[in-house]
Amino acid sequence: MDAALEVVGLTKAWPRGQPGRAFALDRLDLSVPRGSTYALVGPNGAGKTTFIKLLLGIARPTSGTVRLLGGSPDDARVRARLGYLPEKLHLPLAWTALEYLQSIARLKRATAPLLPLLERVGLPAHAHAALRTFSKGMRQRLGLAAALVGAPELLVLDEPTDGIDPLGRVEVRALLREERAKGTTVLLNSHLLAESEQVCDRVGILHLGRLVREGPLEALTRTAGYCLRFESPPAPELLTAHALTALDDGGYLFPGDDARALNATLAALLAKGCTLTALEPRSASLEQVLQEAVG
């Protein structure tokens, strides 16, 4: 599997120690395939931002190795191929949006026109407005545009929708999907789990500096059983006979993943006049998976 980023044994000790915890990151191994959209989730203090800083060479690891796009993050040629949106972006407020992007483009040696980027993040009308007049959400959108300068192969976004209104979040999600369609690898650090679920295909759960769960989103959220929905509620004796449990959302839980047993149950219910309207594999939300993973 071709990895866009790969870390092995990545460890970062706290600079001055921390009661009860010696490491911000502890022997982390992680590989993100090219073209995937990867969500890094975890509670506050899990080490997500530290991980991103080590990944980009903003902080130095105590031990372990980082490979980004096949090279080292210390290599300027590698950094030229990535885009980054920090968690709390600090902008030069006297500049205009276009001047800011021009500055980033100069440092990245990117020559593509910048106005289309402002259009992509919904700020075309504000190209010549001073950044001091921008709301938090607009600044965040601009940060996103800055991360997209130079058409990066890897996008590292730390809380990209922070401060953006609900409609804006929809636009950001659409933009991330566009990037994924273009083959860009996206590493997303977000507290908004539902949002991560909508755009990411892989998830890593960090807790106390360790990767406690990792894999494709479907595999992580998949739980045993199927959810059955009927036109009208089946008789209680039928539910008892086939070990079906009523769920809060109006569906019925078929326990286990045995396809033969499922088919037999369905045949019996249909023979008794029940009309099946939906059959869904049972899955947990990312929030539930996170809760379960971090205890």
Partner 1 sequence: MRALLAVAFDLLREARSRKWFLGLFAAVSLTLLGLSLFLRLEVVDGALSASRLFGSLLSADAQPADVALRPVFLTVAFLGYVLGAVFLVVACADFAPGLLSPGRIEQLLSLPVARWQLLCGTYLGLLSLAALAGGYGALGVVVLFGVKTGVWEWRLLWSAAFGVECFAVLAAAMLATATVVRSAAVSAGAALVLFVLGAIASAQKPIGEAIETPALRTLFGLAVAPLPRLGTLCIFACQVLEDRALDGRAALRLSAGALVFAFALLAFAVHRFERKDF
The closest alpha carbon to 155, from 55, 288, 71, 294, belongs to 55
Among 17, 22, 29, 106, binds partner 1 (CB under 8 A): 106
Distance in angstroms (rounded) separating the CA atoms of residues 133 and 125: 13
Candidates 57-65, 115-123, 193-201, 213-221; binding stretch for partner 1 (CB under 8 A): 57-65
Round to the nearest angstrom and report the end-to-end CA distance of the chain: 31
Among 103, 129, 208, 283, binds partner 1 (CB under 8 A): 103
* Shortest spacing between CB 157 and partner 1, in angstroms: 12
Candidates 3-11, 58-66, 237-245, 280-288; binding stretch for partner 1 (CB under 8 A): 58-66
Q: Does 87 bind partner 1 (CB under 8 A)?
A: yes
* Shortest spacing between CB 75 and partner 1, in angstroms: 9
Q: Does 86 bind partner 1 (CB under 8 A)?
A: yes
* Shortest spacing between CB 206 and partner 1, in angstroms: 19
Q: Does 58 bind partner 1 (CB under 8 A)?
A: yes
Which one-letter amino acid corresponds to residue 192? L
Cα-Cα-Cα-Cα dihedral sign, residues 45, 46, 47, 49: negative
Distance in angstroms (rounded) separating the CA atoms of residues 197 and 199: 6
* Shortest spacing between CB 180 and partner 1, in angstroms: 20
Question: What DSSP character marks residue 152?
Answer: -
Cα–Cα distances (Å) from 144 to 76, 91, 265, 274, in that order, read 21, 12, 51, 51
Cα-Cα-Cα-Cα dihedral sign, residues 265, 266, 269, 272: negative
Closest CB to partner 1 among residues 108, 213: 108
Closest CB to partner 1 among residues 123, 144: 144
Candidates 100-108, 205-213, 243-251, 272-280; binding stretch for partner 1 (CB under 8 A): 100-108
Closest CB to partner 1 among residues 99, 171: 99
Beta-bridge partners for 88: none
Closest CB to partner 1 among residues 109, 128: 109
Distance in angstroms (rounded) separating the CA atoms of residues 56 and 48: 13
* Shortest spacing between CB 72 and partner 1, in angstroms: 13
Residues 83/147, Cβ–Cβ less than 8 Å: yes
